[in-house]
């Protein structure tokens, strides 16, 4: 089902979110004073995971990105978004270039086995696309050895995605840290904030712990930390986004914060629009100029 929310509705919701951006979380007072605008552009770069639009074609997704005023995409081999087949991949890249869309990461890409051919093929896939960061899901300890080899050969970063309590190897960013601390520094982190909090990880502490090896962020919101089934639009839940954004600013995070909206797959745009309006409004409330 295609969302019928207009650009005007989006702008209006953004203004409302800017007013709401001063709301804090936890036991702090319900309302805090907005910071004085600094006149500086936002230091947080917002993008979106193509998995958000997993039930829609590339052409439909391009229409959604235009409506969202977004140009930065974390792309995945789902539907026809970025096919593994070289010829089909070339066509997708041509379509993105024509639409002014930039691919900053690919994923989540899974590395379930230490299969040399499979792992090399996924690095080749990203090299063809000019993508310099692979968001890696559930790599095994054995596959990590091969991944490190190809990180060095291709000079492509790996951002290991934590997947919460259900993840056998990497429930939280701190589990990733233990596994990769002595590996090539191009092997780093994609912190998924929703999965991290469900694994009892403090996301602000994780951001500081990962530091310069934080290569991507996946964001979503939850109404409680107890279940993955209670996802809501960003700003409707309990995840402390103001503190998270401030931590990213503190470490001078240069990479993207990608919305990964996993609910309402057949009609994601209302929640996606609300999420971006909130995040943009939050940054405005923190004193930064947003032009979106």
- Is the predicted pLDDT of residue 33 greater than 50, yes or no? no
pLDDT value for 2: 35
Q: Where are the domains of the chain?
A: 39-285
Give the span between the Cα atoms of 123 and 92, in whole angstroms.
17
Q: What mean pLDDT value characterizes the chain?
A: 88
Q: What is the pTM of this model?
A: 0.86
| pLDDT tops 70 at residue 34 | no
Reference 199, options 229, 174, 234; nearest CA is 174
- pLDDT at position 138 is 86
In tens, the pLDDT along 35-70 reads 555 668 999 999 999 999 999 999 999 999 999 999
Domain 39-285 bears CATH identifier 3.20.20.150: yes
Which residue is it, tokens 């552009």? Answer: 41
Q: Which pair of tokens denotes residue 181?
A: 């601390």
| In contact, 173 and 145? CB cutoff 8 Å | no
Q: How confident is the model at residue 226 (pLDDT cuts 50, 70, 90)?
A: confident
The pLDDT value recorded for residue 195 is 95
pLDDT band at 291 (very low <50, low <70, confident <90, very high): low
Integer angstrom CA distances of residue 54 from 50, 76, 188: 7, 9, 26
Give the pLDDT score at 167: 87
């Amino acid at each position: 089902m295609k969302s019928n929310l207009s650009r005007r509705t989006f702008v209006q919701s953004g203004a409302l979110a800017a007013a709401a951006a001063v709301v804090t979380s936890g036991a702090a007072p319900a309302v805090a004073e907005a910071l004085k605008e600094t006149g500086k552009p936002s230091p947080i770069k917002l993008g979106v995971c193509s998995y958000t639009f997993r039930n829609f074609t590339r052409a439909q997704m391009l229409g959604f990105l235009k409506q969202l005023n977004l140009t930065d995409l974390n792309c995945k081999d789902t539907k026809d978004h970025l096919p593994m087949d070289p010829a089909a991949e070339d066509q997708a890249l041509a379509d993105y270039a024509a639409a002014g869309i930039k691919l900053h990461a690919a994923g989540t890409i899974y590395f379930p086995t230490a299969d040399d051919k499979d792992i090399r093929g996924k690095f080749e896939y990203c090299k063809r696309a000019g993508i310099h960061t692979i968001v890696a899901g559930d790599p095994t300890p054995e596959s990590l050895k091969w991944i490190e080899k190809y990180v060095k050969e291709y000079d492509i970063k790996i951002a290991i995605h934590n997947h919460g309590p259900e993840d056998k190897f990497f429930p939280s960013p701190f589990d990733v840290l233990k596994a990769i601390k002595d590996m090539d520094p191009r092997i780093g982190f994609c912190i998924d904030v929703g999965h991290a909090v469900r694994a009892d990880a403090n996301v602000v502490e994780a951001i500081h712990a990962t530091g310069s090896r934080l290569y991507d962020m996946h964001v979503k919101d939850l109404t409680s930390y107890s279940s993955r089934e209670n996802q809501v639009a960003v700003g409707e839940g309990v995840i402390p986004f103001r503190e998270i954004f401030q931590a990213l600013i503190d470490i001078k995070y240069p990479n993207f914060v990608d919305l990964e909206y996993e609910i309402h797959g057949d009609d994601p745009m209302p929640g996606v629009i609300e999420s971006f309006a909130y995040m943009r409004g939050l940054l405005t409330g923190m004193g930064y100029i947003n032009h979106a």
